[in-house]
Structure 1
Amino acid sequence: MSALLTPLRLELRAISKRYPGTLANDRVDLRIAAGEIHALLGENGAGKSTLMKIIYGVTRPDAGQMLWEGNPVQVQDPAAARDLGIGMVFQHFSLFETLTVAENIALALGRDAGSPKQLAPRIREVSQRYGMALEPERLVHSLSIGERQRVEIVRCLMQDIKLLILDEPTSVLTPQEVEQLFVTLRTLASEGCSILFISHKLQEVRQLCHHATVLRAGRVAGGCIPAERSDLQLAELMVGDTEGLDACYPKRAGGLPRLRLDDLCWRNQDPFGTSFEHLRLEVRSGEIVGIAGVAGNGQDELLALLSGETRLPASERERISLDNQPIANLYPDARRELGMAFVPAERLGHGAVPDMSLADNALLTAFQQGLVEHGLVRSSKVLALAEQIIQRFAVKTPGTQATARSLSGGNLQKFILGREMLQNPTLLVAAHPTWGVDVGAAATIHRALIALRDAGAAILVVSEDLDELLQISDRIGALCSGRLSPLKNTADTHSAEVGSWMAGQFDTAHAAS
């Protein structure tokens, strides 16, 4: 389609926004036509999220003008944005964890939409129609990351909207769910709804979007028709340097077993959670094992059991071992003393404390690395570690005293990964290591994981990005309903086979190593 032949839905003129030490948006122009699917591309920290928050009324610009259907407007808050017909799905969730799915959606839609009980049938219908099944009565705190993302998307799709803003909407969806979502988005666009689509998955941008605007360092660096560019060309527009973006890493055979799960049986007390029966897994030194799966199939429970957030009784302590030492009943700090490092799925609030500085966040898990002596924090060493993480992993931030909340999602992810890797662990467990991360940052993270593997560490990566797992893993398997498929050499399998495992099509009799 041609935006020139259709009326403009949204126009931004010279939008600028400055934060202390950062010019997030620098005279940004953006035009979106009615019925257009428009991609906004850029590295982490390029200013995409700030611009979206300005459109949605979360943030006020310092300068510039916004026009809605040809008329100047000032969007004071998200309620005003929704009144105009603007809906947004945030990358970081904005849900109340102690409320149900239906209660969260009812709050967003307002009093006129009906009570949570009245909305429940419609929530089921909409979520099933879009391939993102939800139970309206479930409490949000019991949902996995992928399921929470589904709530955000469904909540937005239930509104009568003219502009739908999607920030990394497919990052926790299966390929089948992505395909169904794209069908829905194309239908919405054909009916005149405009869509602003933010994604680091360039193949999806090329497949879905009519036009793209590229931001770099807060400024518009250019635009294009994505279908006319390759993934590598789009990446070059975003980051300027394509080195390592299409790397093919050699596969390695692991050495001695480091992490072992031996016939692990665990009953989840949460009626909506996932339990495990006879789970077997082995991760060896010098290898990366990838675990794929659709959100809600036991990934969160497995990660909690491995990290020590969930512990087994002493009688079951040998069900999980690290270097032949039973650890299933140990607390997280005791496991770290034995050489384990952990990157959780949720960055803010789990991987980092939002309002604490990067230096203090470095101290949180690395305090056993000589940062505390005789009960006193060695501030100079803490600052040196934080600075080392920032430099080694190219974290874009004003400095070590910046709060974790102030970083973009990708830069915070690089900081958390860097903090764990620089502790030289013998075992690294990483959940969704490049979720919502731009192509340049993903390449940096992948190279770091491969380097840690080559140094002899055992690495377990749990991810819903199948392409990522096939790229970096030496062996791969999948979780489905708490069952783990056999692990297979990545070089000897393909995405279709792993996809069938994700759907539960495997024989657990041979699952383990």
Structure 2
Amino acid sequence: MEPDSTPARLALRGITKQYPTVVANDNVDLTVMPGEIHAILGENGAGKSTLMKIIYGVTRPDAGRIVWNGDDVRIANPAAARQLGIGMVFQHFSLFDTLTVAENISLGLPAGHSIAELEQRIAQKAAQYGLDIEPQRHVHTLSVGECQRVEIVRALLGEPQLLILDEPTSVLTPQAVQALFQTLRQLASEGCSILYISHKLDEIRELCHACTVMRGGRVTGVCDPRQESEASLSRLMIGSEPPAVRHADRPAGEVVFSVRGLTLPRAHPFAVPLENISFDMHEGEILGVAGVSGNGQQELLAALAGEDRRVARDALLLDGRPVGHTSPSWRRNHGVGFVPEERLGRGAVPDLSLAQNMLLSHQNRQTVRRGFVRRPVLRSLAGGIIDRFRVKAHGPQAAAGSLSGGNLQKYIIGREVTRRPRVLLVAQPTWGVDVGAAAQIRAELLALRDAGCSILLISEELDELFEISDRLMVIAKGRVSPSLPTREASLDLIGRWMSGLWTTETPHAEA
């Protein structure tokens, strides 16, 4: 295929988008050829999401041209984009909680089809791509990872000519990632172009044919990622290599938090029941939990954080004291911190400022006195987090919903870390975060561990778990495996365990 004789599938010329306080896209050019898997690489806040929203018709550019298959087009809205043949999976999902999976997907399809027929199509498409989806489930019962699967299947049902994927592999096992890559290569061989946004540099180098690098809203380079190293791609993206994360082995301290025979029936018809879960969390240790999304992580965190009030009194012990019956606020006041996987809506209130969001975890004598909120204190605390974690935000008064996903994640992590909890329950701390920010977050978690905190780290990023965890265990179908020291684990072993296949083959595993 000669590039000069074949029109580009998509060509952006001089795309500019300015908001009152920032230029999100500054004279951006981008060319994607038919059948090309093209990566968009950039740190959080570089303008990637704005550019994708322009392509998909969510946002209109202030200046510039969009050329689709050789013709100038104006993409007025997502429906127009889908009609052209553009499908997109957003980092922040656009699903209605009270509708089923099939009902949500039907909203983006032409009228005249039955839900029963659509449910069958969804099941077939999901099976084809190895994505586990139940079309009859209501979205409010799904985990974040399961919602991402819904979005991927919804995009694929439209048989797109251009598919935009934002962090698509965060819900998959290593084995399933390779299956997805095979599918994407097959789509590309059939002429479908793919815009692939990921912060996993190894994925980009393995999968993509071309890479456009953005920084500060501008294109700073175009390269063939197959000819680059991870270090060189990192330098193109953030101007330097990410700081090395140093994980030093150290003996764990006393048991701080214990789970004893935690068993819970389904909270709703599509929930995952928890079955006889037992483990200990030690002072100065990170216990990593691997698993494919939707295997009980959400239910386990709700039980440990106090959100699920059905937990038996003696099922959870804090310093040997039964606490299964206590409230989330009691646990926070006694040194238990919590970072949920869902940033907007649970980790932060989108319409409130960053300073006001401090009250979600910092309700104490420092911030509230005699019933009055001390706003200057909140602004000072928020400002300290913004500076320390290098959060790109227009000060403590910026609305949480105005931040990019990665910057909001840095803020939420910072809000919990600065409380210096004795126990920290954290889910997906670096999901959708660029390599520099991910390294910083991991370093902060290690520093917290070194200060004596006991951390439970639930993550679908196996590289992350292996990098900073002291011990590893797996959750599958509401059960947990034995734990074993990270140095004795392997990707292959953990991948097998993620399918529920743990046995006594690991003699050093701990109950």
Instruction: Work out whether the TM-score is over 0.5.
Output: yes
- Aligned partner of 1:26 in structure 2 is 26
Letter in 2 for 1:458: S
Unmatched segments (≥5 aa) in structure 2: none
Q: 1:231 — aligned with what?
A: 230
- 1:432-511 equivalent positions in 2, closer than 5 A: 432-507=428-503
Which sits farther off after the overlay, 96-105 or 419-428? 96-105
CA–CA distance in 1 between the matches of 2:143 and 2:97?
11
Listed one character per residue, the Cα deviations across residues 352-379 of structure 1 (whole Å, up to 9, x for unaligned) are 0011111111122112261001110111
Kindly state the Cα deviation for residue 296 of structure 1 after the two structures are TM-superposed: 1.1
Q: In the TM superposition, what whole-angstrom CA distance separates every residue of 1:94-123 from its partner, at most 9, and x where no partner exists?
A: 1111111111111111214x1211111111
1:430–1:461: 8 Å Cα contact kept in structure 2?
Answer: yes
Distance 2:336 2:237 in 1: 35
- TM superposition shift of 1:507: 4.1
Distance 1:357 1:25 in 2: 24
For 1:433 and 1:368, the matched residues in 2 are separated by: 25
| Structure 1 residue 59 displacement after superposition | 0.5
The residue type equivalent to 1:175 in the other structure is P
- Give the direction of change, closer, same or farther, for the CA distance of 1:416–1:2 in structure 2 (3 Å limit): farther
- Please name the residue that 2:305 is paired with: 307
Percent identical pairs in the alignment equals 55
Change (3 A) 1:210 1:5: farther
* Separation (CA, whole Å) in 1 of partners of 2:357 and 2:148: 26
2:422 maps to amino acid? T
**Would the aligned equivalents of 1:22 and 1:398 in 2 still touch at CA under 8 Å?**
no
Note the C-alpha offset of 1:156. Answer: 0.4
The within-5 A match list for 1:10-89 is 10-89=10-89
Alignment of 1:50-449 (within 5 A): 50-112=50-112, 114-244=113-243, 246-312=244-310, 316-368=312-364, 370-449=366-445
Q: For 1:206, what is the secondary structure of its paired residue?
A: helix
- Judge conservation of contact 1:13–1:64 (CA < 8 Å) in 2: yes
Q: Deviations over 1:20-79 (max 9, x none)?
A: 211111111101111111000000000000000000000011111111112211111101
Q: Could you tell me how far apart the structure 1 residues matched to 2:172 and 2:114 are?
A: 29
Following TM superposition, by how much is the alpha carbon of 1:142 offset from its aligned partner in structure 2, in angstroms? 1.1
Note the alpha carbon deviations across 1:217-237, whole angstroms, 9 max, x for none.
100011110111111111111
2:9 is paired with a residue of what secondary structure? Answer: strand
SS in structure 2 at match of 1:8: coil
Q: Would you say the 8 A contact 1:126–1:154 is kept in 2? A: yes
CA distance in 1, matches of 2:22, 2:323: 45
Pairwise CA distance, 1:247: 3.1
Alignment partners' CA distance in 1, 2:4 and 2:468: 43
Task: With the length of structure 2 as denominator, give the TM-score of the two structures.
Answer: 0.97
Q: Cα 1:334–1:159, aligned 2, differ >3 Å: closer, same or farther? A: same
Please tell me whether the aligned partners of residues 245 and 443 of structure 2 are also in contact (alpha carbons under 8 angstroms).
no
Deviation readout 1:254-290 (Å, 9 max, x if unpaired)? 1011110011121123222111222111111101010
Alpha-carbon contact 1:475-1:489 (below 8 Å) kept:
yes
**TM-score (norm: length of structure 1):** 0.97
Deviating beyond 3 angstroms after TM superposition, the runs of 4 or more aligned structure 1 residues are 1-6, 507-513
CA distance in 1, matches of 2:92, 2:36: 25
C-alpha change, 1:438 and 1:344, in structure 2 (3 Å) is same
How far the C-alpha of 1:339 sits from its partner, in A, is 0.2
How many positions carry a matched residue from both structures? Answer: 509
Query: How many angstroms does 1:328 deviate by?
Result: 1.1
Equivalent position SS for 2:45: coil
CA distance in 2 between partners of 1:243 and 1:78 (Å): 36
Matches of 2:294 and 2:225, distance apart in 1: 33
For the Cα contact (< 8 Å) 1:7–1:69, is it kept in 2?
Answer: yes
What letter is aligned with 2:216? A
| SS of residue matched to 1:108 | coil
The alignment's C-alpha RMSD in Å is 1.6
Seen in structure 2, the aligned counterparts of structure 1 residues 91 and 369 have a Cα distance that, compared at 3 Å, is farther
Name the CA distance, whole Å, in 1 between partners of 2:28 and 2:470.
Answer: 43
Cα separation, 1, equivalents of 2:77 and 2:418: 41
1:456 and 1:318, CA in 2 relative to 1: closer, same or farther beyond 3 A?
Answer: same
* Counterparts in 2 of 1:331 and 1:208: CA distance versus 1, 3 Å: same
